[in-house]
Amino acid sequence: MAYQKKTREDYQKEVQALTDKMETQLASHFVSQESIKEHLDFMSRFHRYSTRNMLLIEEQFQGARAVGSYAYWEKQGVHVQKGEKGIKIFVPSPVTFIKRETEWVAWKDATKTEQKRAKEG
């Protein structure tokens, strides 16, 4: 069976589906005091993740006690067992902008001259 590489549109659809699911789940946590307490207890275990990512973690693995990247667990001496699957979370991807006369342009779209001028201040 050949592996089909996902297109940009496939990834965007997947992200949108995860976002929609997360928003629905978030609304369900604020129905009663007990559900709020339960959610806050879960969140307290993952202090370094955003609310969106904590909801995704809970959605995919309710019994989660610790979450980390493959590299993190490898550094800790824990190895992934055959057949184990990872969970999906949103990864921040910061974008730097520079001002081009009257408009803002992403760093990657700026010319070499503009990038050099921006580095010099």
Read off the pLDDT of residues 18-66 as tens digits, 9 standing for 90 and up: 778 777 777 776 778 887 777 677 667 666 778 788 888 888 887 777 7
User: What is the per-residue pLDDT for 3?
Assistant: 61
Total domains in the fold of the chain: 2
At what angle are helices 33-44 and 51-60 packed, to 10 degrees?
A: 100
Mean pLDDT, rounded, for 75-102: 83
Co-location of 70 and 23 in the same domain: yes
pTM exceeds cut of 0.85: no
- On average, the pLDDT of the chain sits at 80
Element (H, E) at 16: helix 8-28
User: What is the per-residue pLDDT for 46?
Assistant: 64
Mean pLDDT, rounded, for 104-112: 86
Asked, for residue 1, whether it belongs to a domain, the answer is no
Q: How confident is the model at residue 72 (pLDDT cuts 50, 70, 90)?
A: confident
User: What is the per-residue pLDDT for 116?
Assistant: 86
Q: What is the DSSP string of 71-96?
A: HHHHHTT--PPTT-------------
Asked, for residue 5, whether it belongs to a domain, the answer is no
Q: What's the domain range around 57?
A: 11-75
Asked, for residue 86, whether it belongs to a domain, the answer is no
Asked, for residue 82, whether it belongs to a domain, the answer is no
Element (H, E) at 50: none
